[in-house]
């Protein structure tokens, strides 16, 4: 029994904290809301080796696991760093699983190329259909489809075309490659398409949280090549993205809690520090409880990804469910503890609140993760 981080993982986390700590990410997050440019953290990610984190060492990557990816994203989340790993990491995990694309893998691992994951939500015990993120409404959108390429230079290696739309794709704007999940005669498959292809349109989505680049992606017969991955890998990539969002949330919760506790110790009312009041103390204890529950579930997800693949869907969904609710609670609490000023641009709390609001709605939303967890456990018990 050893359900804790290894020394190497602790070092990885410290290194990530140091690297992000050298950049004024939170100030940049505020400025970005008014049109300022965000610092480019891609070189930081390249230098640290995070771009190749989930790519095998044989292809120039670090060959690490989901838990390591989560540790980096938690540190990014802590300081609202805008680093496009949420899109890149699941995409590279898929290309890596497909194997036999050494040149591309090498370029992705080194960060010379950047990928984004254009996901489909896997079918579940209620409806087996794989669906795309809709632009609006709760109804899921039809998935993009794959067809054969029939142009003049048909053959190797760009042998298929993709058509269809997926909305709210994390880190799509500016990605050099898109790893698209699409249906080929109803069967889910992964296709790699160049981001700059003339038949790909990426509309930058307006964002409530300026640190989170999102795109509405439309393929109009865009050429691409198929990855040799099966349905299990496609499901895994979807749930990996959920786990990474949960990890970002954990970091943000930790930051909200630290700031809340610090202020509750120094702010006095009626002759007492406000942290001495049960009402405040119990609320902050609740943030801590949710934070530690999220951490435990992220460890579960990291462990399942490596050692118990049949439980990864449930584990990642549980982590997303806990992390989403924890961040919502923590972001509201950091505002409440600080009083009125916490709800103004004078303070950083609104930036975490914006992060909480948008994160909870991405990739099917936290509610979908809750439903998925229920479905996985109920199907397993039936």
CA 190 – CA 228 distance, rounded (Å): 8
CB closer to other proteins, 211 vs 249:
249
CA 378 – CA 204 distance, rounded (Å): 38
Q: Does 67 bind other proteins (CB under 8 A)?
A: yes
Strand pairing category for 177-184 and 115-118: parallel
* DSSP string for residues in 136-193: SSSSPEEPPEEEE--STT-SSS--EEEEEEEEEEET-TT-SEEEEEEEETTEEEEEEE
Closest CA to 169 of 237, 246, 117, 223: 117
Q: Which residue, chain included where needed, has tokens 């390249």?
A: 46
CB closer to other proteins, 268 vs 345:
268
Residue 297, helix vs strand vs coil: helix
Burial class of residue 18 (count of CB atoms within 10 Å of its CB; 0-12, 13-18, 19+): exposed
Looking at residues 265 to 284 of the shown chain, list those that interact with other proteins (rule: CB under 8 A).
Answer: 265, 272-273, 275-278, 280-282, 284
Length of the chain: 382
CA 375 – CA 66 distance, rounded (Å): 23
Contacting residue, 29, 79, 200, 314, with other proteins by CB under 8 A: 314
CB closer to other proteins, 135 vs 289:
289
Contact region with other proteins (CB under 8 A), list: 10-18, 160-168, 233-241, 293-301: 293-301
Contacting residue, 56, 159, 231, 292, with other proteins by CB under 8 A: 292
CB closer to other proteins, 108 vs 337:
337
Q: Which two tokens stand for residue 274?
A: 């406000």
Closest CA to 181 of 140, 224, 124: 224
Q: Does 321 bind other proteins (CB under 8 A)?
A: yes
Q: Does 3 bind other proteins (CB under 8 A)?
A: yes
CB closer to other proteins, 14 vs 258:
258
Q: Does 2 bind other proteins (CB under 8 A)?
A: yes
Q: Does 4 bind other proteins (CB under 8 A)?
A: yes
Q: Which two tokens stand for residue 163?
A: 């058509």
CB closer to other proteins, 184 vs 286:
286
The distance of closest approach from Cβ of residue 276 to other proteins in the complex, given in angstroms and rounded to an integer, is: 4
| One character per residue 185-224, x = contact with other proteins (rule: CB under 8 A) | ----------------------------------------
Contact region with other proteins (CB under 8 A), list: 163-171, 223-231, 345-353, 363-371: 363-371
Contact 37, 25 (CB under 8 A): no
Binding site for other proteins (CB under 8 A): 1-6, 67, 125-126, 257, 261, 264-265, 272-273, 275-278, 280-282, 284-286, 288-289, 292-294, 296-297, 299-300, 302-303, 306-307, 314-315, 317-318, 321-322, 325, 367, 369-375, 377-382
């Amino acid at each position: 029994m050893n359900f804790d981080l290894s020394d190497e993982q602790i070092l990885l986390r410290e290194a990530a904290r140091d690297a992000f700590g050298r950049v004024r990410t939170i100030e940049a997050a505020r400025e970005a809301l008014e049109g300022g440019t965000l610092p480019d953290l891609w070189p930081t990610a390249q230098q640290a080796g995070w771009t190749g984190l989930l790519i095998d060492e044989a292809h120039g990557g670090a060959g690490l696991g989901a838990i390591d990816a989560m540790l980096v994203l938690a540190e990014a989340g802590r300081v609202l760093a805008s680093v496009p790993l949420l899109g890149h990491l699941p995409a590279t995990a898929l290309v890596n699983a497909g194997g036999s694309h050494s040149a591309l893998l090498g370029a992705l691992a080194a960060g010379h190329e950047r990928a984004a994951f254009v996901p489909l939500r896997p079918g579940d015990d209620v409806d087996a259909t794989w669906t795309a993120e809709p632009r609006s409404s709760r109804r899921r959108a039809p998935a993009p489809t794959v067809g054969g390429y029939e142009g003049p230079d048909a053959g190797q290696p760009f042998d298929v075309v993709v058509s269809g739309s997926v909305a709210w794709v994390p880190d799509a704007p500016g990605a050099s490659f898109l790893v698209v999940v699409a249906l080929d005669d109803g069967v889910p498959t992964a296709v790699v398409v160049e981001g700059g292809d003339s038949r790909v349109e990426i509309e930058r989505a307006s964002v409530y949280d300026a640190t989170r680049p999102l795109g509405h992606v439309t393929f109009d017969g865009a050429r691409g090549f198929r990855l040799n991955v099966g349905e299990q890998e496609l499901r895994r990539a979807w749930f990996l993205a959920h786990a990474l969002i949960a990890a970002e949330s954990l970091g943000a919760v930790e930051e909200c809690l630290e700031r809340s506790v610090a202020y509750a110790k120094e702010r006095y009312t009626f002759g007492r520090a406000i942290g001495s009041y049960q009402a405040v103390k119990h609320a902050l204890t609740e943030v801590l409880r949710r934070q530690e529950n999220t951490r435990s579930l992220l460890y579960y997800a990291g462990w399942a990804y490596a050692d118990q693949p049949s439980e990864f869907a449930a584990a990642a969904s549980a982590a997303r469910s806990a992390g989403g609710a924890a961040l919502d609670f923590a972001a509201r609490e950091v505002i409440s503890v600080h009083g009125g000023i916490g709800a103004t641009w004078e303070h950083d709390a609104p930036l975490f609140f914006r992060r909480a609001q948008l994160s909870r709605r991405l990739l099917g939303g936290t509610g979908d993760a809750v439903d998925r967890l229920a479905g996985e456990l109920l199907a397993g018990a039936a």
